[in-house]
Structure 1
Amino acid sequence: MSTSYLTTSELAERIKYDIRTIRECLKDDVLIEGIHYIRPFGGRKILYLWEPIERDMQLHSKEESLGVPMAGGGACHGYCRT
């Protein structure tokens, strides 16, 4: 299976989000290191993995809840300040 690696700007273009929103709101809250992105060779550069991101976007868009599921069974309906 081939993996598509994307920079932050390439991901922003693909999912139609602002680069700042990805960096400040999605990274580490929705996009998880090791699943959705990696830091090659332990560096500062971040490469996003398109296939897991696409899979999770489709999976979560089918859920009826608009909140983020929490460990205790509830949902978080917070927001991100940009």
Structure 2
Amino acid sequence: MSQTYLTTDELSSRIKYDPRTIRERLKDSVLLEGIHYIRPFGGRKILYIWEKIEEDMAGVGHHTFAIPMANGGLCHG
């Protein structure tokens, strides 16, 4: 499966967010390393994975944060 890697500026133009907002507010809270972005070769540069971001923006993401409860339910918190 081929993935599309984007820089912060390229992602910014696709999702209509300021690059600074992506770096300071979305990265590491909404966009997670290893899921939505990578640091190739262990460096400082960040490349965003467009397909994962697009999937989560559409609401069909499989990465939900929930705590399993004893009665079988989930706590979304």
| Structure number with larger C-alpha Rg | 2
For structure 2, the residue ranges without an aligned partner over 5 or more in a row are: 68-73
Q: Return the TM-score normalized by structure 1.
A: 0.74
Q: TM-score, normalised by structure 2?
A: 0.78
Spell out, residue by residue over 1:9-65, the C-alpha distance to the aligned partner (whole angstroms, 9 max, x if none): 0000000000010000000000000000000000000000000000000016xxxxx
Partners of 1:30 and 1:8 lie apart in 2 by 14
- Taking the aligned partners of 1:74 and 1:33, their CA distance within structure 2 comes to 21
**1:33 equivalent in structure 2:** 33
Aligned identity (percent) is: 67
* Runs of 4 or more above 6 Å deviation: none
Residue of structure 2 in register with 1:14 after alignment:
14
Higher relative contact order (CA 8 A, sep 6+): 1
Superposition RMSD in Å: 1.7
The number of residue pairs the alignment matches comes to 67
Alignment of 1:57-72 (within 5 A): 57-59=57-59, 71=67
1:36 is matched by which residue type in structure 2? H
Distance 1:74 1:3 in 2: 30
Please list every run of 5 or more consecutive structure 1 residues that lacks an aligned counterpart in the other structure. 61-68, 76-82
